[in-house]
Amino acid sequence: MERSKSPDCNSQPSSPTDNINLGPSANPNAKPTDFDFLKIIGKGSFGKQNHIMAERNVLLKNVKHPFLVGLHYSFQTREKLYFVLDYVNGGEGLKARKYPIGLSGSGKLSFFFQGHIVLTDFGLCKEGMEPEETTSTFCGTPEYLAPEVLKKQPYDRTVDWWCLGAVLYEMLFGLPPFYSRDVSQMYDNILHKPLQIQGTKTIAACDILQGLLHKDQKKRLGAKTDFLEIKNHVFFSPINWDDLYNKKIAPPFDPNVAGPADLRHFDPEFTREAVSSSIIRTPDLAASSSSATDAFLGFSYAPNDED
C-alpha cells in the first residue's frame, strides 16, 4: 500500500511541530524493489503529514496485537510513502451482512481469512490520550458521534465507549440507536431523544446499552475505570478473555475464502488492473538520501531480531 506525499486540496502550511523526528530509521535502505508487487486491491487518497505519522506510530505500538493490523515495514522514496501491512482478505465489517456495523473516525473493521476481526486504518487516531486528558477535534461518522462531540465540547476517552454502544446497538437492532435519514434530525436525536430499546432483549443487553449510551459522559459506562468496567459487565460474562485474545474462540462469522491469498472480497475494478511500473519504480529510489528522508523524519521502520 502506498501513500502519496502530495498535499490534498485542503492542506494548510505545515507547522514546525509537523516535522517530528522519531529517531533514526531501523532500515533506511529499504526500497520498493525489495518487494514483489502482485495485485492492486484498492486505492487510497492523499494524506496530511500529521495523520500519516500518527497512523505509523499507532501501527508500530501495536505491531503484535492479534486484532490490529500488523506493520512489517515502512519506508519512503522522494515521491511515495509505503506501509507493508498484514494482508487481511476476509472482507470489511461494513459489508458483512450478518454484522451491519460501523465505527467512528478511529478505524475500520475487516476480517482475517479465518473470520477473526481486525482493526485497520488508524489515520485519524489521537495519540497519547491519557485518562484525564481531553481533545476537541470534530471528526467521525455522523451515526456514531457522541453528544459531547456534537456540542463541540472537550471530550475524553469515554467517547469511544459511546461509539462501542452505538455499534453494539446496531448489531442487535440493525440500525444505529438514534438514526434518521435527516442528519440534522439525527443530531437532535443524539442530543435530546431518550434511548429506546425495543423487543425482547436480555436485561444484561439493555443495561450495557444504557450504560454505554449515557448522554452524560461522566456517568457513562467506562468513565470510572475505563475498559475494566466494560470487560467486567455481566453482558460479557460468558467470554473467556484470555481465550479470546489467543484466538481460541471460534469466530461466528465465516468470510468464505479459500485461504490467505484469496481475492474474492476485493473489488474486481482494482484486482483486474495491471500493477503499474510507476508504483514500483520512481525516478529516484535512493531512499536513504536526505531528499527522501527529511520530509517524514523517522517514518521508516523494519523489525529487529527481538520483534
Average pLDDT over residues 161-181: 92
Residue 79: CB partners within 8 Å, gap ≥ 6?
4, 5, 282, 283, 284
Ramachandran angles phi, psi of 160, nearest 5°: -70, -35
- Yes or no: say if 108 and 120 are a contact pair by the CB < 8 Å rule: yes
Domains and CATH numbers, the chain: 2-88+266-293 (3.30.200), 93-245 (1.10.510.10)
Range 209-239 burial, b when 16+ CB lie within 10 A, else e: bebbbbbebeebbbbeeeeebbeebebeeee
Residue 196 φ/ψ region, left for φ over 0, alpha for ψ in the -120 to 50 degree band, beta for the rest: beta
Give pTM, 2 decimals: 0.68
Separation of alpha carbons 116 and 203, rounded Å: 28
Q: Using the predicted structure, report yes or no on whether residue 143 has a pLDDT greater than 60.
A: yes
pLDDT the model gives residue 86: 83
3-state secondary structure of 260: coil
pLDDT in tens, 199-243: 778 999 999 999 999 999 999 999 999 999 999 999 999 999 999
Range 294-307 burial, b when 16+ CB lie within 10 A, else e: eebebbbbbeeeee
pLDDT in tens, 118-140: 877 665 666 555 666 666 666 67
pLDDT in tens, 41-67: 887 665 557 667 777 777 777 667 888
pLDDT the model gives residue 238: 94
